[in-house]
Amino acid sequence: MTVDDVRKRVEGLRQIAEAEDDEAAHGMEDELYIEVLGAIANGADNPEKLAAEALKTLEIEFSRWYS
């Protein structure tokens, strides 16, 4: 996983949130966090940058809930 991969995922999440699909956006956010944590656990070269990019999802406004 690269920083560019994470940036693309965050942008995709932003687009879903803008389309007002909060449940899908929340699921995408959870999946991203799990994948970033997995990459870090497996020795990613740049864990701080991966985490920092993933946490940018917190700047995207949508309801974080599950049905």
What's the number of domains the chain is made of? Answer: 1
**pTM attached to this predicted model:** 0.92
Report yes or no on 49 lying in a domain.
yes
Residue 43 lies in a domain: yes
Does residue 65 have a pLDDT over 90?
no
Mean pLDDT of 17-33: 96
Whether 41 maps to a domain, the answer reads yes
Give the span between the Cα atoms of 2 and 6, in whole angstroms: 7
- Averaged pLDDT, 14-34: 96
Cα–Cα distance, 57 to 27 (Å, whole number): 12
Q: What is the pLDDT of residues 34-47, one digit of tens each?
A: 999 999 999 999 99
